[in-house]
Amino acid sequence: MSLTLHAHPLSSFCWKVLIGLYENDIAFENVMVNLGDPAVREAFRKLSPMGKMPALRDEARDETVNETSVILDYLDLHYPGPVRFTPADADLAWRTRFWDRFFDHYIHHPMQRIVADRLRPPEAKDGFGVDEAYGQLAQACDHLEDVLADGRVWMSGDFGLADCAAMPALFYADKVQALAERWPLSLAYLERLKTRPSVQRVLTEAEPFFKYFPEG
């Protein structure tokens, strides 16, 4: 098999790429990476020098592709399917890329800071950083709520890159700051995302690992 995705079912950024692969029914081998194993971690760094998941290996083209948005661009280029993740239209493309960056930087990353702090020992907790992350998350969700008020179904026309980014970001954000409390349109968007067969498949694969998610 040409494509191998090195990932973990609980990793939120891995979901972004898995959704894309499943949307277009792209054949690939899914290799679970256990970064807790020193030998596995060392081998994985040869694919991903920064140690970040996922990494896509394409043996047919002798390419290793890192970073989720870049991986989906690569799939658009070399393994196209019915879903084009970034539109061919130039104006739709930059708008799609904006929302992709929005979800990664302003919802996903603050959420990860909050979750990471839950895993720290008491003496290493960062209360200031967590408060800052909650503030950033709320600001981003406020903006998203305003935008979704226009009635759009997906973020940039048809389902694509931005929606692949939105699903894991909002799914885990809802676990650290319940969307229903303040952002009903964002919650409704998340529920729409969950109806996609690709997303349902990702969630089913991740379900056995949810017990490891650190609740607040």
Q: What is the pLDDT of residues 24-37, one digit of tens each?
A: 999 999 999 988 88
Judge whether 52 lies within some domain. yes
Q: What's the pLDDT at 212?
A: 87
Same domain, 128 and 30: no
Judge whether 216 lies within some domain. no
Domain endpoint, select from 29, 45, 78: 78
Q: Kindly report the CATH number assigned to the domain that includes residue 23.
A: 3.40.30.10
Beta bridge partners of 32: 7
Domain endpoint, select from 78, 101, 130: 78
Q: What is the pLDDT of residues 36-54, one digit of tens each?
A: 889 999 999 999 999 999 9
Domain containing residue 183: 90-196
Binning pLDDT at 50, 70 and 90, where does residue 1 land?
low
Q: Kindly report the CATH number assigned to the domain that includes residue 121.
A: 1.20.1050.10
Domain endpoint, select from 78, 108, 133: 78
Same domain, 73 and 120: no
Judge whether 84 lies within some domain. no
Same domain, 113 and 173: yes
Same domain, 7 and 66: yes
Distance in angstroms (rounded) separating the CA atoms of residues 23 and 83: 7
Same domain, 70 and 20: yes
Q: What is the pLDDT of residues 139-185, one digit of tens each?
A: 999 999 999 999 999 999 999 999 999 999 999 999 999 999 899 99
Judge whether 112 lies within some domain. yes
Judge whether 186 lies within some domain. yes
What percent of the chain has pLDDT above 70? 99
Nearest to 67 by CA among 83, 52, 86, 77: 52
- In angstroms, the Cα distances linking 113 to 38, 46, 97, 110, 130 are 24, 26, 23, 5, 7
Number of domains in the chain: 2
Same domain, 131 and 177: yes
Task: Report, as an integer, the average pLDDT of 97-112.
Answer: 97
